[in-house]
Amino acid sequence: MTVGKDVSALFPDVVNCMQTDNLELKKLVYLYLMNYAKSQPDMAIMAVNTFVKDCEDPNPLIRALAVRTMGCIRVDKITEYLCEPLRKCLKDEDPYVRKTAAVCVAKLHDINAQLVEDQGFLDTLKDLISDSNPMVVANAVAALSEIAESHPSSNLLDLNPQSINKLLTALNECTEWGQIFILDCLANYMPKDDREAQSICERVTPRLSHANSAVVLSAVKVLMKFMEMLSKDLDYYGTLLKKLAPPLVTLLSAEPELQYVALRNINLIVQKRPEILKHEMKVFFVKYNDPIYVKLEKLDIMIRLASQANIAQVLAELKEYATEVDVDFVRKAVRAIGRCAIKVEQSAERCVSTLLDLIQTKVNYVVQEAIVVIKDIFRKYPNKYESVIATLCENLDSLDEPEARAAMIWIVGEYAERIDNADELLESFLEGFHDESTQVQLQLLTAIVKLFLKKPTETQELVQQVLSLATQDSDNPDLRDRGYIYWRLLSTDPVAAKEVVLAEKPLISEETDLIEPTLLDELICYIGTLASVYHKPPSAFVEGSRGVVHKSLPPRTGSSESAESPEAAPSAGQAAEQPAVIPAQGDLLGDLLNLDLGPPVSGPPLAASSVQMGAVDLLGGGLDSLMGDESEGLRSDVGGSPAVWLPAMKAKGLEISGTFSRQVDSISMDLVLTNKALQVMSDFAIQFNRNSFGLAPAAPLQVHAPLAPNQSVEISLPLNTVGSVMKMDPLNNLQVAVKNNIDVFYFSTLYPLHILFVEDGKMERQMFLATWKDIPNENEAQFQIKDCSLNADAVSSKLQGSNIFTIAKRNVEGQDMLYQSLKLTNGIWVLAELRIQPSNPSFTLSLKCRAPEVSQYVYQAYDAILKN
Amino acid sequence: MIGGLFIYNHKGEVLISRVYRDDIGRNAVDAFRVNVIHARQQVRSPVTNIARTSFFHVKRSNIWLAAVTKQNVNAAMVFEFLYKMCDVMTAYFGKISEENIKNNFVLIYELLDEILDFGYPQNSETGALKTFITQQGIKSQTKEEQSQITSQVTGQIGWRREGIKYRRNELFLDVLESVNLLMSPQGQVLSAHVSGRVVMKSYLSGMPECKFGMNDKIVIEKQGKGTADETGKSGKQSIAIDDCTFHQCVRLSKFDSERSISFIPPDGEFELMRYRTTKDIILPFRVIPLVREVGRTKLEVKVVIKSNFKPSLLAQKIEVRIPTPLNTSGVQVICMKGKAKYKASENAIVWKIKRMAGMKESQISAEIELLPTNDKKKWARPPISMNFEVPFAPSGLKVRYLKVFEPKLNYSDHDVIKWSSSTFREHLPGPSTQIDRPCGSSGSRLSCLCSVTTHAATEVQNQGTSTIKLLFCWCLTTCIIS
C-alpha cells in the first residue's frame, strides 16, 4: 500500500488523527497502527487511550473495530490495556461486538497465553458457546478450537451431549463459514455410543446439500468419522453410504481449484470406503478443459476404482489419454494402464496389448513409460507375457531415461536365456557405463551377473569387465559393494550365487501405492484440510506445537475428556511409591517403626532417606497413626518391597510381611513370618479365598522348624492361577488365611497386577492394530505417570522385564509413542499406548482392554514398574 | 487459519498485502512471486508448499489472489473464501483488474478487515456488507440503524436487510443448463449429465418468504400417492435429480425432511440452486464433423448439424465454433445457412445461424490452409462447441410453481415474476491433424458441454393479495450433440 516505503516516521502524526469521527479514516489509522506499532512500541502507547475510549463508543461498529484492532497490535504494553475492554466487549449487548471479541480472545492467546488463562477469558469464551446469536457461537467455537489445539491435554472444548446439541442447533442458523467451524469442531467429538453417533449424523447430513464445498467436505468428514462407530448391519449405515456419493460427485462440478481439493479427498475416501463411489467411475473421466492438476488426480482415482466390471471402459479411456498433449499426463496414463494390469488380473492381457500398441507409436516418452510398466507386469505375472520381449528389444536405442533403461536392462537380464543376443545387448550398454546413472549401473551389474549364471561359457569376459568397472573404477559405494558381493559369491560358491541371484522374487501387488492404513485413518480425520491435500499428517508441514495432536480412527481424540487420570490417588502415594532402594534397609526401617508397636504399623516402607527417618523418629507413633489410615490404599502400589500384611498386634504375636514377585512363568509370594510372641509357633498352613484371577498356593506353606520367639523365617510360596475365581473389589484384593498352632488369622492384601502378566503377551503388529480398532472407545482409559525421567528405550526395556511388550515405536514431532501389549494369566489382553515427551517428566498412558475394569490396576502396575 | 492475503498483478507486483497472523513473515510475499508467478515451469497445483508455508492461489484474468498459511487449515474453505472475495470485489467495483484494484485500495483493505478476522472468514454477503461498508463513508446513523446493521451482519438472515422497498415487486428466474456428453469413437454415449443452475433476480419488498417447486420425481411421486390417476401422467413429466446444492438462504433441514425448497431470497441476483441429472437427457442437436487432411498444408473440414426435436419448435441464436490449428494461414468457408467467418484471433471458425426448426439439417465445409511448421508442439485439438437457445430443457426440468409470501406487505397487482430461461454450449473434438486418420469421424472421442438459456417473460396473475402464484408452465431449451 505504501509502495514498499517505510512510513513509520509519521507515527505521531497518524496517531493524532485517531480521534476522528470519520469511520473510514479511523479504519485507515488503525490499519497503519497494526502495521507499524511493532516497530514503534513506545509511541503505540499513545494510541491506547483512544482505543479504550472507542471500546465504549455508542456505535457497536466502532466498539468492535477498536477491540479487533487492539488484538492485532502485538505490543506487550498494549495487550495489558486490552484486558478490561475485552472483558466488557465479551459481554456486550451487541452480537457484532461479541463475535469480534470472541476472535480477539484467540488473538490475545496467541500473544500471551498465560494472560488469557489468568484473566479467565477462557471461561467467558466457553459461555459464549451458549450464546443466542449463531455467529457468536461459531466464532467462539473457532477461537476455542484454536486455543485447544495449542493445549492438547487441556479440557477446553468440553464437548458433551448438551453442548453438542447447542452446536447442532447453531449449525442450522449460522453463516457458511460458521458452519465450517462448527462441523470441524464436531469432528473432534467422540460420541458415547452408536446411537448418539447416528443422531449426530442425521443432523449433519442436510449440510451435504450446501452450496459451499467446504461445508460439504467438513460434513463428509464428520460422517466418515462417526460411521466408524455405526454397525454395518444397520439400515442407517447403508443409507448414509448412499447419501455420501452424490455430494462428492457434485463437488466435481465446482471451480477447478476446489475440484482439486475434492479429488485429493476423494482419493482418501475411496481407499477407506471403496463402496461409496464404486459405481461412479464415469464422473472421473477426464474432460478436455480440465486443468492438468485435476486431470492427474482424476487418473489416480480411476485406477483406484478400476475393477473387473469397469476395466474395459477404463482401458479405453486410458488409451485415449495416452495420445494427449501434456507429457506428464500421458506418462501417468501409460503407467495407469500398467497398474490396471496388476490390479485386475483378467485385464492383464488387454493391458499388455494396449501397451504394445502404444510402443508402436514410437513416441519416445510413451515407449519409455510403457517399458517401465511392462517390467512390473512381468514381475506380477511371471512366464506369461514374455513373448513381447522381442518388441521391447527393438526400442532399445530410443531409451534415454534412466528409469526406462534400468527397466529394460532388468528385463534383458531376467530373461537372458530367451534372448539370443542378450550378451550383445548388455555389452552395448556397458560401453558407456560411467556415464549412466547409478540406477542403471546397478541394474546393469545385476543383469550381467544373471546372464553369466545362465550362460556361463560365453559371458565370462563380460562379467569380469563389469565387475572390474564396478569395483575398481567406480566411486559409488553402493555399486562397489554390490560388485564385491557378486565377485565373492561367484568366486567362492557359484551354486550359492545362483540361489541368491536367481532366487524367486516375491510377486508385487497393487497395494504398493496405497496409503498406509494408520496414516489413512489419520488423514480421514483431516478431510478438507491441507493435510488431506498433501496426504501427509499435519506434523509434516506445520511448525511448532500446533497440529501435533495425533488423530486417528476409530476416533480417539475424545480420550482426553475421558481421561480420568488418577488424581484421586493421594499425594501421599508419591512417597509410598518411591521404592526402597535396598530391601534390607526397608526391613530396618520396618523394625525401627515397629519397635514400640504402639498403633498397628502397616505403613509403607519409606525411601530410606535420612531426613525422613529422622522425621519418623521424631514424630514417633503420631506419624504412624496418621499414615496408618491411608496405608490400606497404598499397599497395592508397592511392588518390590515387603509390606506388613498382618501386624503382630492382630495375630497374637505373629507378624507377616511379604511381597509378590514373578519369575519366568511362575508367581511367588515371598513371606516373612516373625514371631513376636513369647511362645514357639509351629504347624503353619495357608489358604486363599476365591479371588479375581484364581490365585492359589501351588504348594503347602512349609516352615521346617518351629518358630522361636523373636525369630523370623523367609518363605517363598509358589502360586498358580488355577484356583476358583470370584470377582473381588478392588480387583487385586487377595484374602488370606494363615493358621498356626495358636489360632487362624485372616488378612487381606492387594497384589500388584504385573505378577499376572504372562510371557507370551506380545501381540502381532497387525493383530494389535485390528484389536485396537475393535475395542470400543469407551473402554479406553487414560492416565498420567508423573515424574518419570526415563527415555523411551529405557522404559521399553524396563517394561519388557515385566512382560509388557513394546510392539511398535513411533516418533511423532519429538514425542515418542510406544504401543504395547500384555496379557493376563486369564487371557485378558490389554493394549497400551504410552506417550513420552522428552521435556516432560509425566507420561501419558492410554489403555484399551475388553475388560476395562483392569485398566486402573494395569496403570498402577506400570507406575510401580517404571518407578522401581 | 488464513495467515495473510496477497493480490498480485501479472508481473508479480504486490497490489494488496494484508497479514493477519504473526507467523507469516514479509518474505512470504516474495516467496510466492518467485516460486509461483515467476516459476519457470507452470505450477501444477493450486496449493503450493514453500518452506513449510502453504500458498493457495486463484487467478482472475491476470490478477493473482493468494492466501497464505502455516497451519493445517481447511483447504476447501480457503478456496471458497477466495472465490467469495472475488465475488465481493466484483459486486463493489466490477471487473477485477489491476486498475480497479488500484483505484479501490482503501475499500479493499476495509473489506479485508471486515470479512476476515484473524484469518477466520466472517460474514461475506455483499448485501449485508454494503449496508455499512460504503465508499461514501457512513455519516450520521441513528442508533436504531446501527443496531439494525449489526444484527443483520450477525443474524440468522445475514443475506438480506430489512426494510427493502420497491415500487414494483419483480422476480426473475433463469434456468441455465449445461450438458456434458462423452462419446466413444463409435458414437456410443459413454456418459452424459446435465448440470443446471437456477439463477434468480429478486426485487421484492420486505421479507418475502418464497417457495420453489419443480418437477422433482421424489416430490411428484409423494404427491402421486394421494391421487393415483395422476401418477401415470406425471410420471413422464418428472425428472430424477441426482443431487442438488443450494444457496445458503435455503432451509436445508426442511429440504432434507420434506424436500421442499423454501427461502427468504437475498436482494438482487443470486444462484438459488445447482442440480445434476444423469437420466433421460434430451439432446437437441447432433453434430457430425468430418476432417480430411490433404497433404501437409491443407485440411478439409465438414460439419453437419442436425436438429433433433419436434419440427414445430424453433432453436435460436445457434453458434458453432470450430477450432482451427495454430498454424492456420487462411480459411475458405462455404455454408448452406447462416453466416460463417474465420476469426484468426480466436483460432476458430464461427458459424452463426439465426433460427432452425426441429428435424432439420445444415452443413458447413471449410478448407484450411496450413503453414508448414516443424513445430513439435502438438495441437491439443479442442472440441467443437455450440451455443443455442431452445424452448425446452435437456434435463426435462420444469418449474411447477414459485410462491411468494410476504407477511407484512401486500404486493399489488403490478407485481411481476419474469422467466428467463436457458443458453446452450457444447464442445466437440476439433478436427484431427493426424494423417493416419484420413477421414471419418475426426477425434476418437467427443465431449460436449451445452448450456441452455431461453427467455420468456410473463405477467403473473395475482391470486389473493399476498401470495403470488405462478400458473405459467414454462419450458426450456436444449441441444443434442454427437
Give the model's confidence band at A598: pLDDT under 50 very low, under 70 low, under 90 confident, else very high.
very low
The cell for B168 is 414494483
* CATH number of the domain where residue B76 is located: 3.30.450.60
Q: Tell me if A598 is assigned to some domain.
A: no
Question: Do residues A335 and A453 share a domain?
Answer: no
Q: Tell me if B479 is assigned to some domain.
A: no
Residue A779: is it exposed, middle or buried by C-beta count within 10 angstroms (0-12/13-18/19+)?
Answer: middle
ipTM of predicted complex: 0.79
Q: Tell me if A290 is assigned to some domain.
A: no
Flag if B71 and A1 touch (Cβ within 8 Å): no
% residues pLDDT > 70 (chain B):
74
pLDDT greater at residue A595 or residue A132: A132
Find out whether A674 and A654 touch, Cβ atoms under 8 Å: yes
Find out whether A471 and A480 touch, Cβ atoms under 8 Å: yes
Q: Tell me if A530 is assigned to some domain.
A: no
Judge whether B354 is annotated as a binding position. yes
Average pLDDT (B248-257) is: 85
The single-letter code of the amino acid at A184 is D
Question: Do residues A153 and A5 share a domain?
Answer: yes
Find out whether B359 and B307 touch, Cβ atoms under 8 Å: yes
pLDDT score at A585: 40
Give the model's confidence band at A4: pLDDT under 50 very low, under 70 low, under 90 confident, else very high.
low
Flag if A547 and B56 touch (Cβ within 8 Å): no
Residue A374 CA to residue A359 CA, distance in Å, equals 11
For the cut 80, the answer to whether the pLDDT of residue B429 exceeds it is no
Residue A720: is it exposed, middle or buried by C-beta count within 10 angstroms (0-12/13-18/19+)?
Answer: middle
Contacts of B74 in chain A (CB under 8 A): 180, 184, 214, 217-218, 528-529
Strands (E), B204-239: 209-214
For the cut 70, the answer to whether the pLDDT of residue B183 exceeds it is no
Residue B480 CA to residue A145 CA, distance in Å, equals 51
Flag if B79 and A257 touch (Cβ within 8 Å): yes
Distance from CA of A374 to the nearest CA of B (A): 26
How confident is the model over B433-450, as pLDDT tens digits? 222 222 222 332 333 333
Those residues whose C-beta lies under 8 Å from the C-beta of residue A81, and which sit 6 or more positions away, are A48, A51, A52, A70
72-101 in chain A: CB under 8 A from chain B: 72, 74, 94-97, 99-100
- Work out how many domains chain A is built from and give that number: 5
Find out whether B110 and B117 touch, Cβ atoms under 8 Å: no
pLDDT score at B138: 52
The cell for A765 is 503388529
Question: Do residues B325 and B365 share a domain?
Answer: yes
Question: Do residues B20 and B72 share a domain?
Answer: yes
Question: Do residues B38 and B58 share a domain?
Answer: yes
Question: Do residues B101 and B61 share a domain?
Answer: yes
For residue B198, report the phi and psi dihedrals to the nearest 5 degrees: -110, 115
Flag if A247 and B117 touch (Cβ within 8 Å): no
Flag if A110 and B22 touch (Cβ within 8 Å): yes
How confident is the model over A113-126, as pLDDT tens digits? 888 888 888 888 88
Residue closest to A818 by CA, chosen among A850, A779, A791:
A791
% residues pLDDT > 70 (chain A):
87
Q: A64-68, A648-652, A821-825, B409-413: which has the minimum mean pLDDT?
A: B409-413
Mean pLDDT of chain A: 80
Question: Do residues B277 and B291 share a domain?
Answer: no
Q: How many residues does chain A have?
A: 868
The cell for A761 is 503377551
Question: Do residues A395 and A406 share a domain?
Answer: no
Flag if A213 and B17 touch (Cβ within 8 Å): no
Which of the listed residues B124, B145, B180 is the one where a domain comes to its end?
A: B124
Question: Do residues B404 and B384 share a domain?
Answer: no
Question: Do residues A149 and A11 share a domain?
Answer: yes
Flag if B245 and A250 touch (Cβ within 8 Å): yes
Question: Do residues A662 and A766 share a domain?
Answer: no
The cell for A817 is 509413542
Residue A502 CA to residue A514 CA, distance in Å, equals 29
Question: Do residues A381 and A494 share a domain?
Answer: no
Question: Do residues A56 and A128 share a domain?
Answer: yes
Position of cell 490390479?
A343
Q: Tell me if A773 is assigned to some domain.
A: yes
* CATH number of the domain where residue B251 is located: 2.60.40.1170
Interface test with B, best of A57, A72, A176, A182 (most B CBs within 10 A): A176
Q: Tell me if B71 is assigned to some domain.
A: yes
Flag if B79 and A23 touch (Cβ within 8 Å): no
Q: A555-569, A794-808, B113-127: which has the minimum mean pLDDT?
A: A555-569
323-362 in chain A: CB under 8 A from chain B: 324-325, 328
- CB contact A486 to B (< 8 Å): no
Residue closest to A262 by CA, chosen among A306, A227, A212, A311:
A212
For the cut 80, the answer to whether the pLDDT of residue B400 exceeds it is no
Contacts of B122 in chain A (CB under 8 A): 99, 135, 139, 175, 177
Q: Which of A261-265, A741-745, B294-298 has the highest mean pLDDT?
A: A261-265
- Work out how many domains chain B is built from and give that number: 3
Residue closest to A804 by CA, chosen among A788, A824, A784:
A824
Average pLDDT (A644-653) is: 79
Q: Tell me if A585 is assigned to some domain.
A: no
* Domain boundaries, position A860: 756-867
Q: Tell me if B138 is assigned to some domain.
A: no
* Domain boundaries, position B54: 4-124
Question: Do residues A727 and A705 share a domain?
Answer: yes
Q: Tell me if A581 is assigned to some domain.
A: no
Find out whether A859 and A847 touch, Cβ atoms under 8 Å: yes
The β-bridge partners of A675 are A654
Judge whether B201 is annotated as a binding position. no
pLDDT greater at residue A819 or residue A220: A220
Contacts of B124 in chain A (CB under 8 A): 175, 177
Q: Tell me if B64 is assigned to some domain.
A: yes
Question: Do residues B302 and B177 share a domain?
Answer: no
For the cut 60, the answer to whether the pLDDT of residue A634 exceeds it is no
Interior angle at CA B388, CA B385 and CA B394, nearest 5? 95
Question: Do residues B297 and B266 share a domain?
Answer: no
* CATH number of the domain where residue A82 is located: 1.25.10.10
Residue closest to A86 by CA, chosen among A132, A51, A47, A130:
A51
The cell for A561 is 475428556
Flag if A173 and B156 touch (Cβ within 8 Å): yes
Number of Cβ within 10 Å of residue A741's Cβ equals: 12
Question: Do residues B398 and B386 share a domain?
Answer: no
Q: What stretch of H or E contains A461?
A: helix A460-472
The cell for A67 is 477491540
Residue A264 CA to residue A294 CA, distance in Å, equals 9
Judge whether B343 is annotated as a binding position. yes
Interior angle at CA A323, CA A322 and CA A327, nearest 5? 70
Q: Tell me if A167 is assigned to some domain.
A: no
Which of the listed residues A502, A530, A557 is the one where a domain comes to its end?
A: A502
Which of the listed residues A485, A502, A519 is the one where a domain comes to its end?
A: A502
Question: Do residues A450 and A484 share a domain?
Answer: yes
How confident is the model over A347-401, as pLDDT tens digits? 888 888 889 888 888 888 888 889 888 888 888 887 788 788 888 888 887 888 8
Q: What is the DSSP letter of A133?
A: S
Question: Do residues B266 and B404 share a domain?
Answer: yes
Judge whether B378 is annotated as a binding position. no
Give the model's confidence band at A2: pLDDT under 50 very low, under 70 low, under 90 confident, else very high.
low
Residue closest to A740 by CA, chosen among A680, A668, A689:
A680
Chains A and B form CB pairs within 8 A to the count of: 248
* CATH number of the domain where residue A704 is located: 2.60.40.1150
Q: A231-235, A408-412, B393-397: which has the minimum mean pLDDT?
A: B393-397
How confident is the model over A409-452, as pLDDT tens digits? 888 888 888 888 888 888 888 888 888 888 888 998 999 888 88
Q: Tell me if B98 is assigned to some domain.
A: yes
Question: Do residues B21 and B73 share a domain?
Answer: yes
How confident is the model over A501-544, as pLDDT tens digits? 888 777 777 666 788 888 888 899 899 999 999 998 888 888 76
Flag if B75 and A325 touch (Cβ within 8 Å): no
Which of the listed residues A107, A123, A158 is the one where a domain comes to its end?
A: A158
Those residues whose C-beta lies under 8 Å from the C-beta of residue B374, and which sit 6 or more positions away, are none
Q: Tell me if B111 is assigned to some domain.
A: yes
Q: Tell me if B450 is assigned to some domain.
A: no
Average pLDDT (B314-342) is: 86
Question: Do residues B277 and B319 share a domain?
Answer: no
How confident is the model over A154-200, as pLDDT tens digits? 666 777 888 888 888 888 888 889 999 999 998 888 888 888 888 89
* Among candidates B58, B252, B447 on the partner chain, residue whose Cβ is nearest the Cβ of A210: B252
Q: Tell me if A656 is assigned to some domain.
A: yes
Question: Do residues A766 and A729 share a domain?
Answer: no
Those residues whose C-beta lies under 8 Å from the C-beta of residue B145, and which sit 6 or more positions away, are none
Average pLDDT (A246-261) is: 91
pLDDT score at B186: 64
The cell for A845 is 498412558
Interface test with A, best of B23, B65, B79, B125 (most A CBs within 10 A): B79
